[in-house]
Amino acid sequence: MKERIAMQQADIHLFLSDFFQENRCSIQPLSSTAFEVQLSNEIDKEIMNRPFYWHYIEKMNGQPSPFKLKIETDSSKMNDDKKTEFIHYGSPRLRQLFSLAIQKGKFGRFYEQVQPELQSVPLKPWLCLNGFINYHSHLKKNRFFSIGLSLITGEMLNDFHDLVQNWKIDSQLPHYTFTLSPLVKESSGIERIQHYLVSSVEKETHHWADEAITKMNVDLKLLEQFYTSETSSNETYEKEKQTISEQFQPYVTLSIENGAMFYLNSHPVNYPPLKF
């Protein structure tokens, strides 16, 4: 499956690139798996843990100098450069950025609008991620997913958006309710859902990938036969070979479009909700 599915680290690279650019950080690509990012003042304050520096700069009305980071997402390309940070699933930096993304509003917060009369009612946290599984080759397709994860029990539900779309839900916490503290951290919940999606794709049959590889090999063989002449340009051959490989090489990516925290008193599969 290695040549078919380049998912986990590629997804991390995409998430990091999107996150930094959405937060006004400038990115300079260094390779297909590495880049240098000039942090904005705001992101430096959020992730670099130097409150005394920023307190001094702001108090003295000084000129700030936010950090510049080198980031690598492929472990095989790490070298002895201690200034390069390798980011992968489970790394503290990735967990930090997941949590920050949630705080910054790409993820909404919604509360079931219950109306208790006699006593306060608990609302349990559910994390929902919506996005697409994207299948790439000379033909492209995608599949929508909406996964909900209970941050209390760890239960995971497919088609979560469909389950709650007709519920009475609002961005305001209703009176006489309180939210339960999650037992699973939001950043860990995101990782659980992503691992689940990766695992589900790996269990699929990938006839489309086999067909793409077969067609790629046919075209590469024809190209090789065409460039048998000694006068052929090796550089031109390599360029055309790379073009064919990029066109047909199958791989899969995950793209998370948005998500939300839902605080529910009733279980998502129980509709209509319980009355008080």
pLDDT tens per residue, range 232-266: 567 888 888 889 888 988 988 888 878 889 999 98
pLDDT at res. 6: 45
Query: Residues 21, 56: one domain?
Result: yes
Torsion of CA 34, 37, 42, 46, to 10 degrees: 40
Amino acid found at 196 = Y
Q: Is residue 93 part of a domain?
A: yes
Could you tell me which residues are beta bridge partners of residue 38?
Answer: 26, 68
Query: Residues 60, 149: one domain?
Result: no
**What pTM, to 2 d.p., does this model score?**
0.66
pLDDT at res. 214: 92
pLDDT at res. 273: 55
Domain limit, last residue, from 76, 104, 132: 104
For the chain, give the number of residues: 276
Domain limit, last residue, from 66, 81, 104: 104
pLDDT at res. 232: 59
Q: Is residue 43 part of a domain?
A: yes
Q: Which of 15-19, 45-49, 112-116, 271-275 has the lowest mean pLDDT?
A: 271-275
Structural domain boundaries, residue 127: 106-206+250-276
Residue 199 has pLDDT above 60, yes or no: yes
Query: Residues 61, 110: one domain?
Result: no
Query: Residues 91, 114: one domain?
Result: no
Residue 145 has pLDDT above 90, yes or no: yes
Query: Residues 133, 63: one domain?
Result: no
Torsion of CA 76, 77, 78, 81, to 10 degrees: 160
Q: Is residue 275 part of a domain?
A: yes
- List alpha helices for 78-230, DSSP H: 92-103, 160-164, 186-202, 207-226
* 226-to-72, 109, 218, 233, 248 alpha-carbon distances in Å: 38, 59, 12, 11, 19
Whose tokens are 């090789």? That residue is: 224
Q: Is residue 154 part of a domain?
A: yes
Residue 114 has pLDDT above 50, yes or no: yes
Residue 154 has pLDDT above 90, yes or no: yes
Could you tell me which of 9, 179, 189, 1 has the C-alpha nearest to residue 86? 9
Query: Residues 159, 271: one domain?
Result: yes
Query: Residues 142, 63: one domain?
Result: no
Split at pLDDT 50, 70, 90, the class of 45 is: very high
pLDDT above 70 as % of the chain: 92
Query: Residues 111, 68: one domain?
Result: no
Query: Residues 100, 125: one domain?
Result: no
Query: Residues 122, 258: one domain?
Result: yes
Domain limit, last residue, from 59, 83, 104: 104
pLDDT single digits (tens) 59-106: 888 999 999 999 999 888 887 777 899 998 778 898 888 878 777 766
Split at pLDDT 50, 70, 90, the class of 4 is: very low
pLDDT at res. 276: 44
Q: Is residue 269 part of a domain?
A: yes
Q: Is residue 162 part of a domain?
A: yes
Query: Residues 157, 270: one domain?
Result: yes
Q: Over range 128-145, report the average pLDDT.
A: 89
> Which phi and psi (to 5°) does residue 85 adopt?
-105, 125
Q: Which two tokens stand for residue 166?
A: 């007709």
- List alpha helices for 122-252, DSSP H: 160-164, 186-202, 207-226, 234-248
Split at pLDDT 50, 70, 90, the class of 139 is: confident
Q: Over range 174-187, report the average pLDDT.
A: 90
86 close to 77: Cβ distance less than 8 angstroms: no
Query: Residues 162, 275: one domain?
Result: yes
Domain tally, the chain: 2
Could you tell me which residues are beta bridge partners of residue 259?
Answer: 107, 129
Q: Is residue 228 part of a domain?
A: no
Q: Is residue 88 part of a domain?
A: yes
